[in-house]
Amino acid sequence: MNKRDYKESAPGEIYHVYNRGVANENIFIDQEDYSFFTYRLRQNLFPDEELEYSKTRIAVLPPKSFSLLGYCLMPNHFHLLIRQNGKISTSTLLLKVLTSYSKFYNKRHGRIGHLFQDRFKQVHVSDDRYLTWLSAYIHQNPKVAGLVNDPAKYKWSSYLDYITQTHGSIITGQDIILGQFKNKSDYKGFVESSYKIIKEKKDLEEYLLDI
């Protein structure tokens, strides 16, 4: 499958979905922006939940349509690892979330025009090695960018869901990745050891192409 063919996503498959702001501009300014983006994700991942953020009901996707294996929201871009569980495509989920978020962001910040650069990118995750390296890459993004010294201290990623016991998370599929390690500590060690390799992108061209 072409890595950017949005129409051919298939049930049971995992995809790395990412995009950045138009002209590399920030897409998240403050905590309320990050919170609203994750809220819109949660609303479509868990439509049966009573969510207090919204004052009105909106059309959401059927329960368990997708599993979110990991994510990282950076100031000017985002990464999502998504498993499509049924026939509803990942593009349906992303278009709902990104359209809603763009309207929210533009209204809140007095902005007009496109927020995101082109359409989102989607890469099929074809094997376990690819999946584990992508997970490490996504979780190391804040440290590689110099935002934190320890990725565990970055609030807007799923890393803590992998290395600690968390509650109320939007992550539902971490066992797919953690199942390839002895335990959470083993996974943490893998991510920590990956930092230098990821920063230099040594031997990762086939996995991190065009990110």
Give the DSSP letter string of 165-211.
Answer: --SS-S---HHHHHTTSSSHHHHHHHHHHHHHHHHHTTT-HHHHTT-
In a domain, 2, yes or no: no
In a domain, 4, yes or no: no
In a domain, 7, yes or no: no
- pLDDT score of 47: 77
Residue 125 pairs with which residues in a beta bridge? 14
What would the pLDDT profile of 114-156 be if each residue is shown by its tens digit?
999 988 999 999 999 999 999 999 999 999 999 999 999 999 9
Residue with tokens 């209204």: 107
In a domain, 58, yes or no: yes
In a domain, 117, yes or no: yes
Distance CA 154, CA 73 (A): 10
- pLDDT score of 48: 72
Token code pair at residue 151: 């990725």
Residue with tokens 């920030």: 26
CATH label of the domain that carries residue 82: 3.30.70.1290
Residue with tokens 């650069």: 117
Domain range for 201: 12-208
Distance CA 112, CA 199 (A): 35
- pLDDT score of 1: 40
- Total tally of structural domains belonging to the chain: 1
Distance CA 43, CA 82 (A): 15
In a domain, 5, yes or no: no
In a domain, 1, yes or no: no
Which DSSP category does 109 fall into? T
pLDDT tens for each residue of the chain, 211 residues long: 444 445 578 999 999 999 999 999 999 999 999 999 999 999 988 877 655 555 555 667 888 899 999 999 999 999 999 999 999 999 999 999 999 999 999 999 999 999 999 889 999 999 999 999 999 999 999 999 999 999 999 999 999 999 998 767 899 989 999 999 999 999 999 999 999 888 887 555 555 545 5
In a domain, 6, yes or no: no
